[in-house]
Structure 1
Amino acid sequence: MKIPFEKYQGTGNDFVMIDNRNLFFPKETDLIAHLCHRRFGIGADGLILIEYTTAADVDFRMVYYNANGKEGSMCGNGGRCAVAFAKSLGLFEKETQFLAVDGLHEAFFRDELVYLKMKDVSEIEKNTEGYYFLDTGSPHYVEFVQGLEQMNVFEKGRAIRYNERFCEKGTNVNFVEILGENLLRVRTYERGVEDETYSCGTGVTASALVYALQNQDLNEVQIKTLGGNLWVSFQQKNGNFYNIFLAGKAEKVFEGHIEV
């Protein structure tokens, strides 16, 4: 079987993109994991299918799989790449609404950036051990640190992801360093990938919202990741966040066919 695909990246978070509107793709865990494998497949942090939906005023459905081949929770950078890919397929012109695993999303292009509306957030847990925990479409542990560039994120992140609290369902683990006013550096260990990735969209969103809890006059935060810059804008009231947008570049890397 020959599978056509395109490869996209959003600040280094990379995805195999497949147009599955005719439902030809076999949704098999081993096949998806093989395609995402960086030695024996195409190589990616995840795989995304674009499918039709019968929902009113919705342009497409995004189905996201982690690199381990299992269907995942919402992926922010994957969502932005899905929007760019869907636009290239002619599914919309400037603005879109699409369905993902966590519900309806809006998105639009402005200059070179893709703006993706994220789910509202009303619950942020502040743990007595010094970390925060919240869900921005995926679950996220957030901890503020110093010396982030020198930190072994894989080792520390993996230990937290598999600790007694999180081992059953897993969590993404974000380490955050404050670089200046409204400017953060974030590095993330992602469940499903089970490694540090160059960027995590739901992770930088979570990190920005936790930072904003301590700076309640903010409505936008810039985040530096290993793969580039992202922006998170929002409105907040009494610890509730809404109109949250994740913005950054989403770019096609290459296209091809793979025989499986």
Structure 2
Amino acid sequence: MPQDYPTLLQRTWPFTKMEGLGNDFVVLDGVRQDFSLDPLSCRRIADRHYGIGCDQILLVEPATSPGADFRYRIFNADGSEVGQCGNGARCFAVFVRRAGLTDKSSIRVETASGPLQLQVHDDGLVTVDMGVPRLDPARIPFAAPAPATDYCLELESGRVEFAAVGMGNPHALIRVADVEAAPVAALGPLLERHPAFPERTNVGFLEIVSPREIRLRTWERGAGETLACGSNACAAVVAGRGWGALGEEVRVDLPGGSLEIRWPGPGQHLQMTGPARVLFDGIWQGLESI
């Protein structure tokens, strides 16, 4: 066998499949089990034909910072690790309670993008305090000389105007007249990988229905178009408020369902409320390099 071929070890990993508005996740308990996730393992798990199938993989780990209950890690379907996922955060909160890892209804987790506060309500909905949205281009990150409500880039398909918002991960928001006719598959990957976004970006296409309601479709970096993206929904409300088109409380209608977003304005914390649901438990018989 060639020297550069890895030796593979088959391992059995329990998992839980969950969804938040159709944004689906494989959730792994890394508190009571030892998981070694690399990009290849993530791609195998996320594969919808030969694996379990999911948009992202969520890993629950012991906290490493004072005051946190858990560490929350997110891996895209392409194996890249990211700092934030709003729909995943709601699923995370439901998972740790269901798994008996905590009985708290208010849960503080650490992420690569900073701490998150999760609140599980009696009706099963979960509110996530997403923190203060980032509008400074350097913190999004996005290559621009100064903050603005709109930016412009030249793509292969032509000029595109958008807002840029950081929610612990980068977002570009394009306003459209009809979200159903939005060129998600055409513009999404072009803007996602534009050099102006050094960490790539999620791309949202939003239609403003009223000051209290928008419709949104999302192209997620590393996953393609998904049925919902919680952090993109948050970023869309921030963008809409920057345009002067939205109020403090907004319902965001996505292909997979609706979220309630509340944001008082710049410098204030943003809160997202929505559902999270367990689909099934299973055993993954995976392979990892040794």
TM-score with structure 1 setting the length: 0.92
Cα deviation code 1:48-80 (max 9, x no counterpart): 111111433321111111111121121111111
Cα deviation code 1:149-199 (max 9, x no counterpart): 122311221122233433x53111111001123100010101111x10111
Query: 1:58-69 to 2 correspondence within 5 Å?
Result: 58-69=68-79
Deviation of 1:200 (Å) = 0.7
Query: Of 219, 225, 235, which residue of structure 2 is paired with 1:206?
Result: 235
Q: Which residue of 2 aligns with 1:251?
A: 277
1:235 partner SS: coil
1:150 and 2:188 aligned: no
Structure 2 counterpart of 1:97, which letter? Answer: R
Q: Which residue of 2 aligns with 1:178?
A: 208
Q: Which residue of 2 aligns with 1:96?
A: 107
Deviation of 1:46 (Å) = 0.7
Q: Which residue of 2 aligns with 1:189?
A: 219
Aligned counterparts of 1:226 and 1:82: Cα–Cα separation in 2:
21
Deviation of 1:233 (Å) = 0.7
Query: Of 133, 136, 139, which residue of structure 2 is paired with 1:121?
Result: 133
2:217 partner SS: strand
Confirm or deny: 8 A CA contact 2:126 2:276 kept in the other structure. Answer: yes
1:44 and 2:73 aligned: no
Aligned counterparts of 1:131 and 1:258: Cα–Cα separation in 2:
41
Structure 2 counterpart of 1:98, which letter? Answer: V
Deviation of 1:94 (Å) = 1.4
Deviation of 1:258 (Å) = 1.5
Cα deviation code 1:114-169 (max 9, x no counterpart): 10011212525333433111101110001110121122311221122233433x53
Q: Which residue of 2 aligns with 1:136?
A: 167
Query: Could you tell me the percent identity over the aligned residues?
Result: 29
Moved more, 240-249 or 156-165: 156-165
Distance 1:23 1:131, change over 3 A: same
Q: Number of paired residues?
A: 255
RMSD: 1.7
Confirm or deny: 8 A CA contact 1:72 1:192 kept in the other structure. Answer: no
Structure 2 counterpart of 1:224, which letter? Answer: D
Uncovered stretches (5+) of structure 2, i.e. residues with no partner: 1-10, 136-146, 153-160
Deviation of 1:23 (Å) = 4.7
Aligned counterparts of 1:145 and 1:223: Cα–Cα separation in 2:
15
1:13 and 2:36 aligned: no
1:222 and 2:251 aligned: yes
Moved more, 63-72 or 115-124: 115-124
Confirm or deny: 8 A CA contact 1:234 1:241 kept in the other structure. Answer: no
Structure 1 counterpart of 2:97, which letter? Answer: K
Uncovered stretches (5+) of structure 1, i.e. residues with no partner: none
1:243 partner SS: coil
Structure 1 counterpart of 2:59, which letter? Answer: L
Confirm or deny: 8 A CA contact 1:144 1:176 kept in the other structure. Answer: yes
Moved more, 34-43 or 87-96: 87-96
Deviation of 1:44 (Å) = 0.3
Query: Of 59, 79, 82, which residue of structure 1 is paired with 2:89?
Result: 79
Confirm or deny: 8 A CA contact 2:133 2:269 kept in the other structure. Answer: no
Aligned counterparts of 2:26 and 2:134: Cα–Cα separation in 1:
32
Query: 1:17-36 to 2 correspondence within 5 Å?
Result: 17-36=27-46
Confirm or deny: 8 A CA contact 1:161 1:172 kept in the other structure. Answer: yes
Deviation of 1:215 (Å) = 3.7
Confirm or deny: 8 A CA contact 2:134 2:166 kept in the other structure. Answer: no
1:27 partner SS: coil
Aligned counterparts of 2:215 and 2:180: Cα–Cα separation in 1:
9
TM-score with structure 2 setting the length: 0.83
Q: Which residue of 2 aligns with 1:106?
A: 117
